Structure 1
């Protein structure tokens, strides 16, 4: 009984002694710092500037590239986007050239590119709508994204609309420039050659898709130029917005 009383009596002194030695430690609250976009943290004005500047850059860049492609020879004399024979017709092309019909093949290539130059003229309004509908979140992701982030955004936003718009124009243009006659003659002559596999490609679908590929390829070139070339930032808004890339 004495021992129990002694322990109870000494208990407050033991607790006090341990507290003085620092063995009872308070819990420390930790927090994870928020990751913010460079130059825009909690700043609606900066975010709005990014959206405004990026839209301006895309509008200027897209208009510039589409206008160039829509000119005569915009596709035909631009090796980066020139539409060549479909891959499945390479054998046909080589065979016809060996048979002295290279001029027919060349005319077929020319008419395909003329159709593309006609079709691309209607692209600008479609791109402008996609740019107009871009959100501030989209703009931030694009600005601080990969070097082709804007091009990928436009591809996903306009692909279906461009195909729907380009396809009938390509079909009409093929007839207008005589490409249907040239192609039918070329394919007919090839299919008459003994012991070869007959071909009959969907010309409208092929030209439409290659036209779209060409447009996006040139937009990607312009996007990279704006990101890397200071001289391409022709306004104070563009300079401020793309200057944020240096603070990444």
Structure 2
């Protein structure tokens, strides 16, 4: 089996080669009887599983809020507002209410996340697959983040805002921020839009969850739930 340095050199040699030539070369040099197509399919399957399972876990009630690792906290400027409003009638528990609602919004949006990854996974090249297989423990997640971040944010933001509206988070924050901005001594006004912040935090949590799923597949043989996953990821096990 080629070591990582050899694989990196091999990937450089692929520049200018046809797809057929790359397939033939990889099939010749990679041990384990795996074709380049099988390697690519195995990596795509791992990404699909990680994205699907990660999104499903975060989409459950409490998926974000009940786990401190993924819970979306209020930004500092929001906490300043909620701290000041606690003494105002009707706003005594405003921080708790907003915190719960933005996490509910993220959980609702996470249920729409997995299909957004599909196009990036489909477009994975042979070079991507080889690099991911012998890369860092989160190489597949990094690839997914790198190739989907911009499009995912554009797709996810409306879902987040719809979800925040669904749970009245936007309205609650708008009321709180407006009340704060109307205080006579308030010099620095706060943004009344929570959507962009919650979107970024929700995506950070999603990619963190996918990375854990990828690590599990890489390190835990029992997490390789299909024959293809077992055969492909055996290539990066110690001693392979």
Which band: TM-score by shorter chain?
A: 0.7 to 0.9
Could you tell me how far apart the structure 1 residues matched to 2:43 and 2:130 are? 9
Could you tell me how far apart the structure 2 residues matched to 1:203 and 1:67 are? 24
Return the match for 1:139 from 129, 140, 145: 129
Aligned equivalent of 1:104:
94
State TM-score, norm by structure 2. 0.79
Q: Deviations over 1:2-49 (max 9, x none)?
A: xxxxxxxxxxxxxxxxxxxxxxxxxxxxxxxx9358996535943222
Larger Rg: 1
Deviation at 1:50, TM superposition (A): 1.6
Superposed CA RMSD in Å reads 2.5
Aligned equivalent of 2:29:
42
Matches within 5 A, 1:1-248: 35-36=6-7, 42-43=29-30, 45-97=34-86, 101-196=91-186, 197-245=188-236, 246-247=238-239
Segment of structure 1 superposing worse, 157-166 or 36-45: 36-45
Tell me how many residue pairs correspond in the alignment. 215
CA contact (8 A) 1:122 1:165 kept: no
Deviation at 1:169, TM superposition (A): 1.8
CA contact (8 A) 2:101 2:164 kept: yes
Could you tell me how far apart the structure 2 residues matched to 1:80 and 1:117 are? 14
Unaligned runs of 5+ in 1: 1-33
Matched position secondary structure for 2:135 = coil
CA contact (8 A) 2:44 2:121 kept: yes
Q: Deviations over 1:161-217 (max 9, x none)?
A: 211111112222222221122112222333344534331253111111111111101
Could you tell me how far apart the structure 1 residues matched to 2:69 and 2:213 are? 13
State TM-score, norm by structure 1. 0.77
